[in-house]
Amino acid sequence: MIPLQQALWSGRFTAGMDDSTLAFTSSLDVDSHLAFYDVMGSLAHVRMLKHQGIIPAEDADSITAGLKVILKEIQEDRFELDYSQEDIHTNVEFTLTSRIGPAGGKLHTGRSRNDQVATDFRMYLRDSTLDAAESVDKLMMSLVKVAEDNGDTVMPGFTHMQHAQPVSLAQHMLAHAFKFSRDADRFMDAFERMDKCPLGAAALAGTTYPIDRHMTSQALGFREPTENSMDTVSDRDFVTELAYCAAQTAVHLSSLCEELVLWSSQEFGFIEMADKYTTGSSIMPQKKNPDIAELVRGKTGAVVGALMTMITMTKGLPLTYNRDLQEDKRPVMESMSTIIACCDIMSKVISTSKFNDDRMMEVTSRGQINATDLADYLVTKGVPFREAHGIVGAAVRASIDTGKNLEDMTLDELKVFDSRIEEDVYDILPVRRCMERRSSYGGTSPSSTDIQISKAIEQIMMRDETIRQEKLLIENCWKDLEQN
């Protein structure tokens, strides 16, 4: 029996790979993570080969038994990798053939490493995508729970990092929550597009064997086979799309973390993070550092870099398969695991933090954050908004000069700027009233944020049910391949 690696060069080539060539081309350190999926793909493939009568039933049974032994070793972390083989696919096939004899060489009938690796990687990323969406939803729920407890907590809303209008803490947390909801949706959209099975596309042109691609697709839990064999082995848009989903989520995480870092400073004093999710200083005993948030913010660069790696790698590749595509795995594997870890830890940070509502109210009450409400009040008195804007601007100037907040000015002082201002102005100037009166759909009033909370929870529940069903389908496919 010719060893598999030797068989790959003994026909066309007169010599095997130089050690340096093997070391440079080896992908085993990365694609060893695909070992479980590689065996599952092979189990589905050999089942189909047997069903179609492409290989003898006794050989198929021998291959299946051998693969199940390898699978158990992989699951128990006992499978020994041979680094003289350049990837996980040849490792599995070589091990199988060395154990069961020549029948093992029939496993590769009707497929190529090109469609094999595309199948393995889709299965790996399919699981990662569901896990990522689940982790994003967990973080989203932690934000929603803060919102549920803080519908009446007033804080300054910012534009340009300047106090703009009073908002509720609930509204602010929900703003982040809905960003993450879209991130989770993007992961699930990407899942839908990648849920097609490459197995059977072979090297690029399909195969002459009477294979049944729908059978292998169903066995592996895919919705259907891919439509075009050349496209199947050449394109990695499903990888690039996931890299984008991860990068966008990382950007949203970084924005949240930036605020938490600022809010935890003495200058803001809006939040105190739990001791177990902060660190101290090596020389300054008074310090409590928001290192988790800072690290998450810092990890954004690598996740965005993975997206740039994929776009750059694939921008000029001709059809069909090119070895460049070996480099698609590490950056996206790492970015997906980073996103999952970041969402999991930030969910804990958010859910255990203490929000200082008194400090938020104190800060909100300073200055002229209710100026827009005074302008809106004048509009209800028949003043065109642009004119009202100018009137309130003059009042704000006077407020700054005198050191009085607008709501602290007397009615006579306010009438100096416009005679239409009446006693009822004091019903709208308190910052809490400014927040409570913004009851438009999507607004910051408690009645509005209650609706938003219900919508957010509904989105999480619907998505999590889809995730649960998809995971169950895949799990049942694995059980069927292992047991039958």
Active site positions, annotated? 160, 281
d(CA 249, CA 472): 25
**Contact (Cβ atoms closer than 8 angstroms) between residue 257 and residue 293:** yes
Nearest to 252 by CA among 322, 188, 185: 185
d(CA 199, CA 214): 10
At a CB cut-off of 8 Å and minimum separation 6, what does 283 contact? none
Structure tokens at 272: 């105190």
Structure tokens at 304: 């965005």
Query: What is the number of residues in the chain?
Result: 484
d(CA 70, CA 142): 41
- Other C-beta atoms closer than 10 Å to the C-beta of 376 total 16
Q: Is 337 helix (H, G, I), strand (E, B) or coil?
A: helix
Nearest to 133 by CA among 192, 175, 88: 192
**Contact (Cβ atoms closer than 8 angstroms) between residue 123 and residue 220:** yes
d(CA 71, CA 43): 10
